[in-house]
Amino acid sequence: MTKRMPLAERMKKPGNKTLSERKASSLKRKNALIGYTFILPNFLGFAIFILIPVVFTLVLSVMKWDGFTAMEFVGLRNFETIFTDYRFSSAFWKTLLYVVFSVVLTLLASLGLACALNKKIAGRDAFRAAIFFPYVASMIAIGAVWKQLFEQSYGPINSFLRGIGISNPPGWFASTDWAIWGVIIVSIWKFMGYYMLIYLAGLQDIPVQLYEAATLDGATGPQRFFRITLPMLTPSTFFVFIMLTINSFKSFDLIFALTEGGPGISTTLLANYIYDQTFKYWNYGSSAAASVVLFVIVLAVTVIQFRGEKKFTDYL
């Protein structure tokens, strides 16, 4: 004899639903379907033209392939190849140098500008627009100009340096030691306006009362900056820091326009190395392996920054 479950219990069994539950779940399914239709047009293009290529890069990094014949699995040999390539190690260290200095200096410049342009002064909007404009100017167009400004013997920058008593100013883009610093300076000029805007938004969110209370308590200007402004700006700083880091690793146009990676390979960064391997030497294996290295570095740095942000805000 089979035991019959009481009706109420049977209803609770998964799969059997009450009428209202069934209605709710069909509504849910309908809503989910509507949700998918919103995503779909963008997701299709995104999946085909970005996600699949990313995965394909991972695959290619362990393959030997000339683009026509069948692929051949070669394990980590592509990585061995690039790790023994002096151009790769040079690009690797130059990238780190470039990222560290351009991130820190651009961050400081944009923070300083934002604080100065947050004050109620006449012509504020004009100043902001002027500082921001380099961000939208074409790098290829402006690159030729910067090359002239940094010209070794007669350029205005070195003329100025000589004028203030530096008898032997740097060779900038003509010197393997100085070229990367020229690139860093131009990158600060180009990007500080953009991050200034993000800082300005952060500054506007700080309640005025905090400053009023601090002033009543006799806090000095620097104290107000370090005890109120800076801590309150932590979310902005975090965002600026991450975006700057990611974008610095991507820098290509800037270097291409200024130095094309030279003189020698002194300003060839990882992005340029990958480009050269792909479109100059048609070396798919090395290109993909170097891409994976770049990918892992950016990912690792981003994750560390997210962790750091958590600790930092906890501490505050």
Instruction: Give the span between the Cα atoms of 82 and 287, in whole angstroms.
Output: 9
- Interface residue with another protein among 71, 85, 105, 127 (CB under 8 A) is 127
């109420």: which residue's tokens? Answer: 8
48's tokens: 């085909």
For another protein, the binding residues in 131-150 under the rule CB under 8 A are 131-134, 136-142, 144-146, 148-149
Q: Answer yes or no: are the C-beta atoms of 173 and 179 closer than 8 Å.
A: yes
Neighbours of 283 (CB within 10 A): 19
70 scored as a contact of another protein (CB under 8 A): no
263 scored as a contact of another protein (CB under 8 A): no
3-class SS of residue 2? coil
Rank residues 102 and 291 by Cβ distance to another protein and give the closer one: 291
């390979």: which residue's tokens? Answer: 265
137's tokens: 């100017």
- Interface residue with another protein among 125, 165, 167, 168 (CB under 8 A) is 125
For another protein, the binding residues in 155-214 under the rule CB under 8 A are 155-156, 159, 189, 193-194, 197-198, 200-202, 205, 208, 211-212
In whole angstroms, how close is the CB of 170 to another protein at the nearest point?
17
For another protein, the binding residues in 73-112 under the rule CB under 8 A are none
Rank residues 10 and 30 by Cβ distance to another protein and give the closer one: 30
Stretch that binds another protein, among 4-12, 74-82, 84-92, 153-161 (CB under 8 A): 153-161
Rank residues 83 and 210 by Cβ distance to another protein and give the closer one: 210
- Interface residue with another protein among 129, 176, 226, 308 (CB under 8 A) is 129
In whole angstroms, how close is the CB of 6 to another protein at the nearest point?
32
Rank residues 59 and 104 by Cβ distance to another protein and give the closer one: 59
Q: What is the CB-side half-sphere exposure of residue 240 using CA atoms within 13 A?
A: 28
121 scored as a contact of another protein (CB under 8 A): yes
35 scored as a contact of another protein (CB under 8 A): yes
Rank residues 10 and 29 by Cβ distance to another protein and give the closer one: 29
Per DSSP, helices labelled H in the chain are 7-12, 19-46, 52-60, 77-83, 86-116, 124-136, 139-149, 156-163, 179-204, 208-216, 221-224, 230-232, 234-250, 253-258, 270-275, 284-315
Instruction: Give the span between the Cα atoms of 59 and 78, in whole angstroms.
Output: 12
Nearest by Cα to 63 from 75, 46, 51, 55: 75
